[in-house]
Every structure is written in C-alpha cells, then in structure tokens.
Structure 1
Amino acid sequence: MTPLIIWLFMRILTSITAAMTSSFKPLTPLEKMVAMLPPSVPVSQWLERVFVSPWIRWDALWYQTIVTHGYSATDGTAQFHPLYPLLAIPLARLGLLSSISLLLVSSLTGIAVYYFFFKLAQIDLPRNDATFALMLFAFAPPALILFAPYSEAVFLLLAVLTMFFLLNKSWWLAGIMGGLAALTRQQGIFLLVPMAWELWENAGRTAANLRKQRRDWLSLLLIPSGLLLWLIYRAIILNDLQAGYKTFQQFIYSTLISPSASKVVPEQQFIWPWLALKATYQKLVTQPDIDIWVDICLGVLFVILLGISWTRMRISYRLYSLQIFLVSFSYYTGTIHPYMGLPRHLYLAFPIFISLAAVIKIPWIRLVVIALSAIAMLFLLVVYVLQTWIP
C-alpha cells in the first residue's frame, strides 16, 4: 500500500499545482478559452483543460504528434524511441485524445515504478529504509516528469525491473526488460554493462564457470536487440538511417539517434564533459536565466548525491549510474540552453536513491530532506508549466 499512497498523494499534488499555475498564465488555446474556475460545461472540456492541458509542454507535443500521425524521417519524431507512444496508440484508437492516452500510460506505469522500486530497495534495505528510499525517489526535484506525458515513467519501470530480475538471477526476464528499455530511450543500452557484471559475479568471476553458464550469457543479447529493432524500423520503414562514419558525431546522429534530431533541438552534440561544463559556465556568467540555474544547481546536487552514496552502492548500480552521469554531462545542447534536460537525464540514475537511504539515518534530517525536495519539485513543476524551464 505504501507505494500506492505515495503515488496518489503525488498525483493529486502535481495535478492541482499544474492546474493552478496554468490559470495564472494560460498558454494553450484551451487554457485561454476555458477558465479553471468555476467548473464549466461541457464538463469533458473543462476536465481536459484542468487536468490534461497544463502538462502538454515541450517534448509532450512531439509524443502527441507520434501518437496522432506516426513517425516521419523529416519532422524530428524519429529521434524519439517508440515504446512509450506505442503503448498510448491503442488508447487513442479507442477514441481517447492523444494527450489523455499519453498521460494514462505515464500514470499507470508510474504506479508500477513506485511499486517495483520499493521491492528493489527492500533487497538491500529494511522496510523503513526502503520506504525512505521510495520517498527520496518520489520527491526528487525531477520526479515531476513521472506525471507528465514523457517517456521517463515507462523507461524507469523497465530499468528498475531489469535490476530487480538481475538481483534475483532471472537473467532472461532481465534481458527482456532491458531490451524494452532500449526501445523506450537510448539510455536503455546502458543496462547491458550492469547485467554483464551481475552475470560475471554469478559465475564467481571465473572463466570456467562462465563457460558453464553460457546460456545465461546469451540473455545479454536481448538488450541491444531492442535498439536493433528500432534501427531496422528506421532504416527500412522510415528510410531515416543513413550511417556515416567520418566523425563520431556523424555516426551518433546518422545511426543511433536520427539525422532529423536538429528539428527538435537545433544545436546538439556529444562532447567531453569538461567542454560542456565550460560552455555552461560561460552561459551562466554572461547570460544567466532560470533554466541554466536550475540545470546547474541540480547537476551539482546529483554529483554530490552520487559521491555520498557511492560506497553504499552495488558495483552494478555504480556502473549503470556512472554511464548515465557521463553521457548526461556530455550532452551539449547549444549556447542558449547548453544543458537542456540535464536533471531529467540524471534522474534515470535511480540506484542513487536506494544507497542514499542507507546513508541518511537521523529522522529529522530525513524529514528536512524530503520537505526541501518536495518544495524544489513543485518549483520545477511551476516553471515547467510556465515554459520557463525545459525539463
């Protein structure tokens, strides 16, 4: 019951906050046309305005396009991996709006994320500490994204399940979940490394046992298979994959992401983290804004949390989290918003919250941490709805 209660509280809290924020600055045509209060008829339109429309910001619009019109090689949609919108399409075919379909998928998978994260935390922690780990995860500032029409809820569910099955030595189930995660977001491929480590540990770190368990090792292939399926679809159906090998950037964007990615973010590339940090610092000094301050502050916070929790983390957790951090800090998105999406990307390193719960033991400190996290999360939700911060 604990995960469900926390999820219900968060769903109500975020919905009310988003609706109230949108009433101060309505942005969509529906928000401008229909007032939040008092309730009006038709009721369905009013409910959509209050509970759905405030969430339709930034990438949510791209997912709406995919659900409504499908993928195209020319409009930027091919950058987004398919599992999340695919789950919403059947609901849309039943007559629901694409926005409602996407929110339903995020909400339902969000409940499952909470439940299995709690189960995963209980493998390493007693129940009270596992509950605190869940609260850290649920109230973390970027956690608002679990309630928006974004792919993070689906991805985190699959990533958590991958780790859960790994620790229970259900290798093939872990591989299936990891493959589905790779169909949801590019970061899913990072689950390959912790899975390989857990298999190596299970073999006693010896080559002899490794050979005996070679059938288990075949399950590793399921994770890249998820990405491969998407690449094949892009190549054959969309004609979007035109592999180039002259430079690292050309290979990444022609093959692994999409040549049309610039339609979504005009300037983006993967560079050394210190170069991205230098460019971000220059932006902070010369043209500071809310967006850059939020990204930098939360980026620094996540690095601190990783350092605090590092010694308490399983090696497989470290390997996964380190990959997430390195790639997130290497993703440079131009001079205006140099670290676009940084907090949301770092949030995918969910094992941090499990290990952090083992470090913070004093009750009043736990209470203060959760309270400050909740305040920061609500602030991010407000600036997200106002479109002054890109998550």
Structure 2
Amino acid sequence: MPDNVPRAIAAPLLSWYDAHARDLPWRARPGANAPDPYRVWLSEVMLQQTQVATVIPYFAKFTARWPSFEALAAAEDADLMAAWAGLGYYARARNLLACAREVARRGALPETEAELLGLPGVGGYTAAAIAAIAFGQRAVVVDANVERVVTRLFAVPDPLPGARPKIRALTDTITPDARAGDFAQAMMDLGSGICTARAPRCLLCPLRDQCDGFATGAAETFPVKAAKLPKPQRYGTMFWLTRGGEVLLVRRPDKGLLGGMRALPTGPWSDTPPGLADAPIAADWRLLDDQVRHGFTHFNLDVALAAATIAAQTGADFGTLKGEWWPIAEIESAGLPTVFAKAARVLGRKHA
C-alpha cells in the first residue's frame, strides 16, 4: 500500500487498547479520570532509555516520598540523586529536579508541546508524550515501540537511525485528533506485547490487515538497522580508602557523566590503564587482582581497584575533593551509581 494512502489504524487500535491496556501505576485507564500530569511527567522522564519493569519500583518510591511537583521541588539535591541511583543517565535526575522547581515556580505544568519544550530535560519525544497523555492534545509520539510498529505497518526499507524523520511523518498520518493520548499509549502497548522485536505475534495484532510488514511475511526484519560500530574502550582506577569502619566517598562534579553523585574517588577514564597516579591522597596503596567492568551508552569501562587504610585519628587533605567518610556497613544507602556500587561490593567484601 503506498505511503500516501490513509489507513484505518486508530479505530481498531483504540478498540484493542480499551480491552487490553496495560495496568501501569502512572496511567489512567481508558474512560477513567483524567491522568495526573505530575505522574505522567515523572514516568516519562524515568522511562527515557529505561525499561518499564525497572521504572515501576522507582516510580512507587518517588511518588510516595514526593507526591507532587511542589514536594519534589523542595527535595535536597543529594536526596534526589541517592533515590535515583540505579536508574542510570543521571543528567535526567538533575533535570528532573530543575524541572520540578520551574513547574512549582510557574504553578502548573504547561500543556502545549512548545511550552513543555522550554522545561529542563524535556525534549521532543517527552513534550509530545506529556501533551498527548496528560492533556489530550494531538501530538506525534514516537518511542522505540512506536518506531517498530510504524516501520512494520509501512515496511520502511530505510535503516535506522536515518529513517527516523520518515517514521515520524508516517506516524503523523495515522495519529487521530481525538484520544491522542490513548492512541500513543496503545501504540506503545502494541509494540511491547504484540509487535515485539523478536517473534512478533502477528496473528493477535488488530492491525495485521493494514500491515505491509505482515503482508511480506517477514515483519520481524523491520525496522532495518545500520551496522553497530564497536564501543570505545576506556580504563580507570577506583580507590577504596578506609579509616576505622568508614570509607571515603566523594561528590562528582555537577557537570559531566554521573554529575553530582556520591562515588568512590577515581581519576579520569582514559584510553590506557592509569594505575595509581590519581590516588586521592598519599597512602600505602595496593592494586588488587579484581577488576570491574561496566558498559555505558557510548563506551565500555574496565576499572582497576586499589585499597589503602589510614589510622582512625588521621586527618587528610583532600584538596578540591568534596570528601565524606561513610560507614562501610551502610554503603548500600549511599546511593552510588551502578559502576561504583559494583566496585564497592567487591571491595567491601575484601576490605571491610
């Protein structure tokens, strides 16, 4: 079917959604009360690059502790960052707090895409999703699930990521004026449960009669993806400095990767193993046999681990480091980012 021929997508999809919508803690059921804009916004920020199953317990914890924009706006930066630990992409947490404070200052979350785009951490997808889901406005919402559904509906032959402008334009052609939020969520649910990346359940799909991918007999081959380039490899050293029953933690710079988070001291992550050159203070450091490996979005990291102990009464000059002594027995409560939590588990077992 040519791309310029309108397709009867919305009606069968919304009928399917009314019967099969996922029950999610941030979602208003079809036909129920209007969604809470705070919960929609919070969930959309959390769901960026993160799976639904991972987000659900964090969402429950956040909404119990900070149930509104005003409550979140009053949170301490360190408390927010600690509560976010494990969700990854930590710039989202900094923007989350900045956005909550801006919305609290304004008195309400803006309702239009254009206004939403002016808020910290709100990009094109998030603005469209909030406008549609929270406020019922017609907006073209394209996440990874929607992208997959649309490339199959239209058998888009162009590889990602170059095909994304075309995919958005095609999504625009099938997005209805009414129930835009339900339509967006229905597309997401269809991609999550029926039009899955592997082994799509085409015979259960309410859109299969409209789907060019199904007609080819090879729906699973869409979307076409460009070959992945290998990730760069970087190296670093993390330092476990103990004093009595405590370990030294530092606060990472506000700007940059894992900004503002508590962490173990570490030097720059570079192309070659740095050894002990970046130790936070002079001490009897020893490199351990253990290493930690972690994959970030844009690079892989191998971390050497070093340990040293100073006397409990010893003071230490940490220079520009924002250091604090943290009880080793309570290290799980420090809110360390995942890569540092991995190292702490290894080091804590051996050097508590």
Structure with greater Cα Rg: 2
TM-score (norm 1): 0.24
> Relative to total residues, which structure has the larger helix share, 1 or 2?
1
> Relative to total residues, which structure has the larger strand share, 1 or 2?
2
TM-score (norm 2): 0.26
Structure with more contact order per residue of length (Cα contacts < 8 Å, sep ≥ 6): 1
